[in-house]
Structure 1
Amino acid sequence: MRVGSLLLSSLLLLTACGQARSSAVQGPPEAPGKAYDVAGRFDAQVLGSRLVARQRGWPGPRMPVAPPPRKIDCKQLKCVALTFDDGPGDGTGAVLDALAAHRARATFFMLGQMVTDETRGFVRRMVSEGHELGNHSWDHPSLVGLSQEALRRELQRTQDVVRQVAGVKMRLMRPPYGSTDKGVEDATREEGLSQILWDLDTLDWRDRNAALVAKRSGEAKPGDIVLMHDIHPTTVEALPRLLDELDRKHFTYVTVSELIGSLTPGKAYHKE
């Protein structure tokens, strides 16, 4: 009986090993505890970070995996960086759909208070589709004039919630209203954040007119950072049209970091 039991145990062990090996070859299984890279290979570091996330009570069994970095030479290509502020909101999914249809990557400057149970899926999708995430404060005050403690709290709370939801440490921030000073520079430098302003303001926050927003966006020049807001239905409506126009002009859609390259924390880039 002992011999039979040993044989049966050995067969079960071999079968389990064969199944595990087969799973590794075929790609990620459905088990939530496993972690694989974009090529379907097991990654112990990713698994470790996700297990820590689960222990801390962070939402979801998996953190999104970003696609590999791209090599883009904006000195040779007509690059434009589309940016969206104040979300994520109800229209963010449609914005992501339009960008995906044009294989366009963008940068989203998010308010921490907008990252909720209802919108966290958009944040995770941004990462998995190659978009860049940026800090836009917690609840959109003018950072100029805040105490250093209040200023840091605005930045850190947003850093924390995005890291919890998507496993990303953001390196960019956009000061609300574009308002910045030496105090904001000092706080962002300490937080490891570069300040990103813009070149082309579509004024979609003022003129809720899809045709007008699309027309203004279509006037972008190579190297521009374009300011929009993914919380306005008229901007969501305008996006397919403006992408069609920029496609016609042979623009390449890049993230802010792809456009600028090396970034210095605290420094402000691209003033309107």
Structure 2
Amino acid sequence: MNKRNLLKLYGLLLIFVVSLSGCASQQVNSKSSVMEYLYPNSTDTFEAPSTPNLTLPLRVGVAFVPESKDSGSSHHFWAGNLYSGGIAEAKKSQILANVSKHFSSLDFVSSIEVIPSAYLTPGGSFANLSQIKTMYGIDVMALVSYDQVQFTDEGALSLSYWTIVGAYIVSGEKNDTNTLMDTVVYDIASKKMLFRAPGTSQVSGSSTPVNLSEELRVDSIKGFELAADNMTLNLEKQLTVFKQRLKDDPNQVTISHRDGYSGGGTLDLWDCVVLLFLSLLAWQRKRALYSQELQRSF
């Protein structure tokens, strides 16, 4: 082989290596969108919310919105593995249980219902929420959504090492997992958003091409857990802000009460009896002291 043909061969190999390194980069996006669920035809229709009428104590439902149609998977070039992100149902139940704890601690909430994901129809909008309202007897719905992007990049250096040394030895991938989770609370009847609480996380790691899918799954779970923890902390803050906002601007909502409930901190019959008894004792003591003063004056 002459020198010219050898240079051509090296050139072709270089182009081949560079093209493979470009193909090796991948991005996986798994998400569920509140906007897609509530407003699937937002360009055609406009939902006009009315002033919410909150009947206390509230009955709240919590659920994950259906996964978006844009969620995708990725096929790794070297290992041949097909990977797709997303949250397992067991993890969803765990996250919803943590969200429910924050609502159950409120004195104006009477019950929490965890709604299975199967009951939420993709693009079901407020019609689907009204069906769930009838089924579970809830007033307010907390919708949880997520958006996770995992990006993997194989550089030319890692590719050359993979070619010469072997995939099991060199750790060549750079994995970045960015996660957003969001809880949006809606009054179903008025279609009015009451408040929201987001949470974010970022996880960075590396792996060999062979165990890339396993490492991405581990990073994905960790990303969801960290984002959910951050979201529940923000949810606690937003619940406090919401209560204060209702006090500062009561015109935002109208408040009514169910039979037998008149708001947190009210007195029941036994409290009234105890207070009446204590008042009577105080009155008798004051009367006795007054009589003693009269006797001294004479």
- Please indicate the TM-score interval, normalised by the length of the shorter structure: under 0.3
| More strand as a share of residues | 2
TM-score relative to the length of structure 2: 0.22
TM-score by length of 1: 0.23
Which structure has the greater CA radius of gyration?
Answer: 2
